[in-house]
Amino acid sequence: QVQLVESGGGSVQTGGSLTLSCVVSGYTYNRFCMGWFRQAPGKEREGVAAIDADGDTRLADSVKGRFSISKDNAKNILYLQMNSLKPEDTAMYYCGADFTPRMTAIQALGVMESPVGFGYWGQGTQVTVSS
């Protein structure tokens, strides 16, 4: 059973930084997409960042230049480095994984926002940015 556990959320002021981490375990097939999506109260789910099995990454336009996604394959940890945080970044952030063959990072962003979503996701970690 695939499990994902996020950590690293918290409360920061505008302009601050946070690093989210996600430990993934329980998988047997080692080629898969991972990503981060977020959801704020009353808003639709937004795909924030994705990394595919080849290491290609994609970021949502709303976070380009401020966020970055990376993965430590040896430790099975996905990261989201968030800099220059804004109040509009306030949301619950979720880590997800999907084993659909040949999914690209670009496709992954869209899948995360779709009604189906990724195959697996964690419990989420709250990020709050105050002005």
Predicted confidence (pLDDT) per residue in 48-79, tens digit: 999 999 999 999 999 999 999 999 999 999 99
Residues 21-36: what's their mean pLDDT?
92
Q: Identity (one letter) of the amino acid at 76?
A: N
Is a pLDDT exceeding 90 seen at residue 30? no
Per-chain mean pLDDT for the chain = 95
Question: What is the dihedral sign for C-alpha 95, 31, 33, 16?
Answer: positive
The answer to whether 16 and 85 have CB atoms below 8 angstroms apart is yes
Is a pLDDT exceeding 90 seen at residue 43? yes
Is a pLDDT exceeding 90 seen at residue 122? yes
Is a pLDDT exceeding 90 seen at residue 15? yes
Instruction: Look at residue 27 in the predicted model and tell me its pLDDT.
Output: 87
Instruction: Look at residue 67 in the predicted model and tell me its pLDDT.
Output: 98
- Name the one residue in this structure whose structure tokens are 């779709």: 114
Residues 90-99: what's their mean pLDDT?
97
Q: From CA 12, how far away is CA 57, in angstroms rounded?
A: 26
CA distances from 87 to 13, 19, 81, 129 (A): 8, 16, 16, 5
Is a pLDDT exceeding 90 seen at residue 28? no
Instruction: Look at residue 95 in the predicted model and tell me its pLDDT.
Output: 97
